[in-house]
Chain A
Amino acid sequence: QVRLVESGGGLVKPGGSLRLSCAASGFPLGDFYMTWIRQAPGKGLEWLSYIGRSGTTIYYADSVKGRFVVSRDNAKNSLYLQMNSLRADDTAVYYCARDQVVTAGDSYDVWGQGTVVIVSS
């Protein structure tokens, strides 16, 4: 069964750090591009980051560039998001998603259940 499971969320103070993990099962993570997306309470979806299959191609949204770092360990079938200098507006549900790259672009065909990050003093 193809599945993604996020973990590592929680309550953190402004300025603090968290490391999110995304464990893949049912497919070889190394065959896919992967993405992090978040959703603030009551809001829409915001793309955060993209990492290529080998981890050498990485892009970030301006809102997290310089603060968040995405990485992957294909041998462990795991994706990570290191979040530093957290702010209140980083409060959200964080999703990892598998990127199915087809001829007509990317789309996210498998999503995790999400992990909640709350940034508050």
Chain B
Amino acid sequence: DILMTQSPSSLSASVGDRVTITCRASQNISIYFNWYQQRPGKAPNLLIYAVSHLHGGVPSRFRGSGSGADFTLAINSLEPEDFATYYCQQTYSLPPTFGGGTKVDI
């Protein structure tokens, strides 16, 4: 199975801050890579698919980048609703695997 390693596992930030979360795959996964956001007590929501494509309705302050095995999620100017846990995922090969999550809190 492809191992997805996120860092950091948690971070504290303030409204208006810019934060970055990284995710490293244990092998090259091309662009078969997604980001999800999960607010407390809620189901995950798709944020970004195929590395850098924003899912419908996702604000432009979210940006995904990377290729191969190293990927980054950047959130420009944090809003209160952005405090959540973020998961990366690879769908390059079965089974699809998720990173351990990055909790962004105040």
A interface residues, tally (CB under 8 Å): 22
Determine whether B77 belongs to the interface, using a CB cutoff of 8 Å to chain A. Answer: no
Residue B94 interfacial (CB < 8 Å): yes
Which residues of B have CB within 8 Å of A84? Answer: none
Q: Which residue of B lies closest to A47 (CB)?
A: B96
* Interface residue SS majority, chain A: strand
Return chain B residues, CB-CB under 8 Å to A44: 87, 98-101
Q: In the complex, what's the smallest C-beta–C-beta distance from B21 to chain A, in angstroms?
A: 14
Count of A-B contacts judged by CB separation below 8 Å? 67
Q: Is the CB of B98 within 8 A of A47?
A: yes
Interface residues of B in 27-52 (CB under 8 A from A): 30-34, 36, 42-46, 49-51
Interface mask (B54-80 → A, CB under 8 Å = 1, otherwise 0): 010000000000000000000000000
A–B complex contacts, Cβ < 8 Å, 15 sampled: A45-B36, A47-B98, A50-B96, A103-B50, A104-B30, A104-B32, A104-B50, A104-B53, A106-B96, A107-B49, A107-B89, A108-B34, A108-B46, A111-B44, A113-B43
